[in-house]
Structure 1
Amino acid sequence: MPLLPYDAVLCDIDGVIRHWPAADELEQEHGLPIGALAAAAFAPARLHPAITGQITDEQWRTLVAADLAAHHGSKERADASVGAWSALQPIVDQEVVALLEKVREVASVALVSNATTRLEWDLERQGLADLADAVVNTARIGVAKPDLRVYRTAAERLDAAIDRCLFIDDTEANVTAAREAGMTALHYRQLEDLHEALSPLLNGSN
């Protein structure tokens, strides 16, 4: 039997496996400018503590609401908009899920995400909790991609050598860092990219 090209596949979650809807309609309903939620939530100084576990998901969302109240009106409206935003559900790409399930028959799989402390709960309710052998949530390990320690931690969780890992992410900086760590890496843009990257692994298992 031929040697498979990878022992482990490490996959980003948002932008690859699941895709969140735009908040435009929600913002309009709550009298906010388009983009206000993203500006408040994903400002690096606010997001980084949340994805490195310095603050909880609940604390992060409270700070987002406070920012919106300070810049765009009442606390009640800000709280309501963040509540509605927090209730949004992503679209899960079932074709990507199916590919990863096939991969798991021949190699280990880890989900690797810059996420808040809510990630595990989200994966459970979205039917993704059992998709991988390990979930590396940066809020639980204290560092976020593209820090090289994230990649090393993920490989260790799967007991895989760095150079036997394939890393998949939709953010170019994270892909570049994975290569610097010694992994093969795919900058994900569309499903065909994933099919092509995984074909040596899946075809080699036949």
Structure 2
Amino acid sequence: MKIPFDADRSFDAVLCDVDNVIRFYDSGPLAALERAAGLAEGSTARVAFAPEMDLPLMRGEIGLGQWVESIVAGFAGRVSEERARELGRALADSPFRADAEIVALLRRVRAARVPLVLVTNATVRLEDDLASMGLSDLADHVVSSARLGVVKPDRKIYEIAASLAGAAFDRCLFVDDTEENVEAAVALGMTGVVYREPADLRAVLGPLPALG
């Protein structure tokens, strides 16, 4: 389904994830540290993103420093405490960039006077991160799990996002790289897009106005 950007458009709002849609991390420095420690690439992420460690961070219940210490504990017996802390800090401080093509598409959504809401499981550092990428003005609203204490795919985070957008569920387009999150949006009546590449978003948005 495409969105005609006129009075008869199929959607009244676009709700969009941040990580792995707009923002992408460079795992190279962390991977180099893992190799030096004799670990398989991705080992730190597997420890850090276990639900019992990741969810408290995403709900804003702990800070990044506490998260790093939980990673240290998770590596107990596998690497030294010093090495584990180095790995945790490297993950927490991974460099990132914004995808210029997606940012341009979303700015054109705003130019078409379609409300744009970022809906993301994020840390309390999100606002600073958006500012560092020059994206503080990208969306009409930002719905961050760390500020709400609620993470996707909890229904409440979708309700808040749709309310801020001023749109009914069935008039919202929801874009996310995680199938579970998209399925939750679709269950509420939204149109969902599982994001893998810019073409996925271009296909559903249809014709867009050019930026001046």
Fold similarity call, TM over 0.5: yes
Q: Which runs of 5+ in 1 are unaligned?
A: none
The 5-angstrom pairing of residues 40-189 of structure 1 reads: 40-68=47-75, 70-105=76-111, 106-189=113-196
Aligned-partner residue type, residue 60 of structure 2: G
> Deviation of residue 113 (structure 1)?
0.8
Q: Which runs of 5+ in 2 are unaligned?
A: 1-5
Q: Secondary structure at the match of 1:38?
A: helix
| 2:46 maps to which of 39, 42, 50 | 39
CA separation in 1, counterparts of 2:9 and 2:25? Answer: 34
CA separation in 1, counterparts of 2:78 and 2:92? Answer: 18
> Deviation of residue 29 (structure 1)?
3.5
- Normalised to the residue count of structure 1, the TM-score between the two structures is 0.89
Indicate yes or no: 2:44 matched with 1:19: no
Indicate yes or no: 2:20 matched with 1:5: no
> Deviation of residue 9 (structure 1)?
0.5
| 2:204 maps to which of 194, 197, 201 | 197
Contact 2:118–2:139 (8 Å) recurs in 1: yes
Aligned-partner residue type, residue 34 of structure 1: E
Aligned-partner residue type, residue 106 of structure 2: L
Change (3 A) 1:27 1:101: same
CA separation in 2, counterparts of 1:54 and 1:87? Answer: 19
Contact 1:6–1:166 (8 Å) recurs in 2: yes
**RMSD (CA atoms):** 1.8
- Normalised to the residue count of structure 2, the TM-score between the two structures is 0.87
